[in-house]
Amino acid sequence: MSQVRIGMVGYKFMGKAHSNAYRVLPMFFPNSTVPQMKAICGRNQEALETARKQFGWEEAVTDWRELLKRDDIDLIDINAPSDAHKEIAIAAARAGKHIFCEKPLALTLSDAREMLAEAEAAGVKHMVGFNYRFAPAVQLAKKLIDEGRIGKINHFRGQFLQDWIMDPQFPLVWRLQKEIAGSGSLGDLGAHVIDMARYLVGEFSEVIGMSETFIKERPIAENMTGLSAKGGSSTEMGQVTVDDATLMMARFENGALGSIEATRFAGGHRCTNGFEINGSKGSVRFDFERMNELEVYFTDDAEDVQGFRRVLATDAPHAYMDAWWPAGHTIGYEHTFTHEMVELMDAITNDRQPVPNFVDGVKCQEVLEAVERSIEERRWVAISEM
């Protein structure tokens, strides 16, 4: 198979990111299987047609079910709002289509498990969109850990800090409504950190969380989709039904201790998706706002020159970077998606499951739901309870 023919459901922020990845991939990864942009799907015909042209899809369809009936589509890319993931994914699996699904996989753990079961039963490839794994600096952290260069991990300290809804006049977009978004900062931001922790440290054993909604009512917006959504001139107010901030502590199966914080109220942080890991032989530190960098510390450096190194992960030795530009010439946010799609294409071509896949989506959801339960019941919750 030299091409994977794609039908994509959703055409907003993530739809744009995925489309860009599909477009860019063949030029920079010429040995990869080519993603063919067959059809884009959405409900608003006019907006959809605009997106189709702009993003470069061959066709536009308003009913995603049509995509499943077609023989010329191999893969369904789901980036519609979170409440639509389950139905589409299961139908896609039953139709024998491979599936790429944005995170969070589903609104609930049981939904996520159902999706995984169906995908496995159908024997299709399934992937979930934890794109931050694919920053070369994160890949370097993974490599150092896997090679034992950081030693036994004792601490994981993760956070995803943003500040885009601090203004009380910021409107009530769909991401602030539980019935569509599932949860707030926890599912949107915390999910990325939880996945990062699983990727780099291992499985969670038990968790306890706390959360808060600082601004409890907001103006109802006309356009509810954006991340910036300015100018909602409405004076009608609606209830915010998700968390503005969630914190958690965790114990990992390997004995490491973890703390995670996800908030949209950290003034000055536009996108601080970061972590620090301390092992018995060293430490690594990452901040997505400087995504080309990994800070690395080794306990066995000569004693007069010990210190965190700022590694610019843009050289050829770093994952994916020989495909791009010379050393020191940085890449950006969108490249994480391109790398993600390289993994997806490679997995389909070589008949293996891509990583991260629905198993990772389910395991992340287990942790998310354990955190929610721990908040509700004000107690430590073991992942095994879930």
242, 134 Cβ separation under 8 angstroms: no
Query: Which tokens in the block code for residue 252?
Result: 């990992």
The least distance separating a second copy from the CB of residue 361, rounded to whole angstroms, comes to 22
259 binds a second copy (CB under 8 A): yes
State residue 34 phi and psi, 5-degree precision: -90, 125
Q: Does 70 bind a second copy (CB under 8 A)?
A: no
Out of 8, 17, 67, 109, the only residue in the binding site for a second copy (CB under 8 A) is: 17
**Separation CA 218–CA 268 (nearest Å):** 21
Nearest to 96 by CA among 130, 60, 122: 122
Q: Which of positions 274-333 make contact with a second copy (CB under 8 A)?
A: 276, 278-283, 288-292, 296-299, 301, 303-312, 314-318, 324-333
Q: Per the omega criterion (within 30 degrees of 0), is the bond before 356 cis?
A: yes
Q: Does 216 bind a second copy (CB under 8 A)?
A: no
Q: Is 143 in the site for a second copy (CB under 8 A)?
A: yes
Task: Kindly identify the residues of this chain, within the stretch 39-58, that bind a second copy according to CB under 8 A.
Answer: 50, 53-56
d(CA 71, CA 371): 42
How far apart, in whole angstroms, are the C-alpha atoms of residue 243 and residue 272?
18
Q: How far apart are CA 138 and CA 172, in angstroms?
A: 33
Question: Does 123 engage in binding with a second copy (CB under 8 A)?
Answer: no
Assess 5 for contact with a second copy (CB under 8 A). no
Is residue 178 near a second copy by the rule CB under 8 A? no
Nearer to a second copy, 128 or 248 (CB): 248
H or E stretch at 49? helix 45-55
Using the rule CB under 8 A, which residue among 125, 157, 198, 363 binds a second copy?
Answer: 157
- Cβ 282 to a second copy, closest distance in Å? 6
Query: DSSP string covering 178-230, please?
Result: HHHHSSSHIIIIIHHHHHHHHHHT--EEEEEEEEE-S--EEEPPSS---SS-T
Report in angstroms how near the CB of residue 171 gets to a second copy at its nearest.
Answer: 15
Shortest reach from residue 109's CB to a second copy, in Å: 23
CB of 183 to a second copy, least distance (A): 16
Q: Is 121 in the site for a second copy (CB under 8 A)?
A: no
Reading the block at residue 265, the tokens are 């109220």
Residue 63 or 212 having the CB closest to a second copy: 212
Q: How far is the CB of 3 from a second copy (least distance, A)?
A: 14
